[in-house]
Structure 1
Amino acid sequence: MNFKSILNNHVCLLMGLFNKIFGTSRSVEEAILNMVSTSDLMSEEQFWLIIKSSYDKAGGEFEEQKKQLRKLLQRLSLEEIVIFDNRFRQLRGQAHNWQLWGVVYIINGGCSEDCFMDFRDWMIAQGKQFYYTTLHFPESLAEVDTDIIDVDWEGMGYVATEVYESLTGHEDFPSDYMEEEKISGIAWNEETDDLKKMYPQLWARFYVGAAS
């Protein structure tokens, strides 16, 4: 018996044991065994339809939207869940730029790197039109209801991996996609008056302590 056969036998035994303990269906077992780590992206058309559906079902309420997105992703195949998440991270990485971060920093009265990532998750959740308008014209955020600064932006970026784990019992997410982590654009320094000079009107309107 060759190594591959031995390995397959061990995998089958382990999956059989997993099934007895946790009741995983045979179809899920087979899907897990056949999953290959991928960097493929879901089409933007399909991705944005899912996001829009979750937004509409939630009536625009962010916490409810995360619940609705979970339900929608649970209907997809495991591979579709992975490529959905890859597309999500591609869009989040695409919005990783200094200009947008600066505007969010001013409107929010400060914004750490983690905060900015959470904001980009929320930004994607608002839908295609909002995402691309904000991406290309960050100052358009000034026209949005300022209640957005009271929203807990965190969580949308974890939904796909949480759904995958709940369906498979596996924490290892089979994705090779590398999100863009290098921030683009011209850097600003929060310890100076860079942002005040870059966006004087936004600074005067939103930033806490701007009058000083």
Structure 2
Amino acid sequence: MARGETCHYPAGRKFLTLQVVRLLLTSLKIFLLVFFLRVIVQRFVPLPRYDGPELLPEASRPAELLPEADFWRLIEASRHHGLTSYNGQLSTLSEELAGLDTLTLRRFDRTLAHLLRQSYDARLWQAAYAVNGGCSDDCFEYFRGWLMTQGRDKFYWTLRHPRLLLLTGRSEFAQGYEGLEHVAAAQYWRKAGRRMPAAESAPYQLKGPMFDERAALLRYPELWLLVW
């Protein structure tokens, strides 16, 4: 090209460049909006109280299980002292359980197992798969345990509307969220000097059809944000 001549780009190429820039700016705005909404929901504005059906209705509760209100009261007590880390919350929960007798420890442990079994839901698993970029059966159990430690309202609202994980969830459940299911058993060992008797339980039955792994990422594309 001779000196002094101006380089002109085709109109179509210029239009495409503008569209890409606009798309990037829109994506950045959405990312920032989600980021600030997550901060607000997680630290300042709790979810509304859940008043829908529970997984352990009082009218049909077996005697060997705690009332749900008592179970969630212990979870909430641990939350107030362990918001900085999951392991810190489990330590606080262990201290709360240390004040219980062995019978109540068994009832707490069996209530936890009941809630884990009843929340074995395909829709929730599909969302956890999208959040974590993959989620094995063990990972999904750790995820449900983590979800319980977030309190009754967040547990039930997320079970009912899994997309709420965009505001309340986090990734890498499999790596750091194991342990809730062992807390009561450890305290029982300290008090009784023996293992907690195993409860008879039926195998988990998945609620809803098992999902296709690729479909999980397509159904919840917004939850991919948490992977990054």
User: TM-score, length-normalised on structure 2?
Assistant: 0.66
Change (3 A) 1:88 1:54: same
Shift of 1:97: 1.0
Report the Cα offset of residue 145 of structure 1: 5.5
Does 2:191 correspond to 1:176?
no
Shift of 1:149: 5.2
Distance, in Å, in 1 between the alignment partners of 2:128 and 2:88 is 23
Return closer, same or farther for 1:89/1:107 CA change in 2, 3 Å cut-off. same
* Counterpart in the other structure of 2:134: 110
Q: What does 1:92-111 align with in structure 2 at a 5 Å threshold?
A: 92-111=116-135
**Structure 1: runs of 5 or more not aligned:** 1-37
Q: Find runs of 4+ consecutive structure 1 residues off by over 6 angstroms.
A: none
1:151 Cα offset (Å): 6.8
Q: Is the 8 A contact 1:164 1:170 kept in 2?
A: yes
- Report the equivalent of 2:74: 50
Aligned equivalents of 2:202, 2:158: Cα separation in 1: 20
Question: Shift of residue 59 of structure 1?
Answer: 2.9
Please report how far the alpha carbon of residue 184 of structure 1 lies from its aligned counterpart in structure 2 after TM superposition: 1.0
Q: What does the per-residue CA deviation read over 1:16-59, in whole Å, with 9 as the maximum and x for residues that have no partner?
A: xxxxxxxxxxxxxxxxxxxxxx9711011111111000110223
Find out whether 1:198 has 2:210 as its counterpart. Answer: no
SS at match of 2:197: coil
> 1:186 and 1:48, CA in 2 relative to 1: closer, same or farther beyond 3 A?
same
Gaps of 5+ in 2: 1-61
The structure-2 alpha-carbon separation of the partners of 1:126 and 1:207, relative to structure 1 and needing over 3 Å to count, comes to closer
Q: How many residue pairs align between the two structures?
A: 167
| Contact 2:120–2:205 (CA under 8 A) maintained in structure 1 | yes
| AA in 2 matched with 1:195 | A
Report the counterpart of residue 115 of structure 2 in structure 1.
Answer: 91
SS in structure 1 of the partner of residue 176 of structure 2: coil
1:75 and 2:99 are equivalent in the alignment: yes
CA distance in structure 2 between the aligned counterparts of 1:61 and 1:196, rounded to whole angstroms: 28
Percent of aligned pairs sharing the same letter: 29
Equivalent pair of 1:39/1:177 in contact (CA under 8 Å): no
Shift of 1:91: 1.1
Q: How does 1:1-212 map to 2 (within 5 A)?
A: 40-144=64-168, 146=170, 152-171=176-195, 173-178=196-201, 181-190=204-213, 193-203=214-224, 205-206=225-226
Deviation at 1:125, TM superposition (A): 0.9
C-alpha distance 108-147 of structure 1, shift in aligned 2 (>3 A): closer
Q: Secondary structure at the match of 1:75?
A: coil
| Distance change >3 Å, CA 84–CA 39, structure 1 → 2 | same
User: Relative contact order: is structure 1 or structure 2 higher (C-alpha 8 Å, sep ≥ 6)?
Assistant: 1
Instruction: Quote the RMSD (CA, aligned, Å).
Output: 2.3
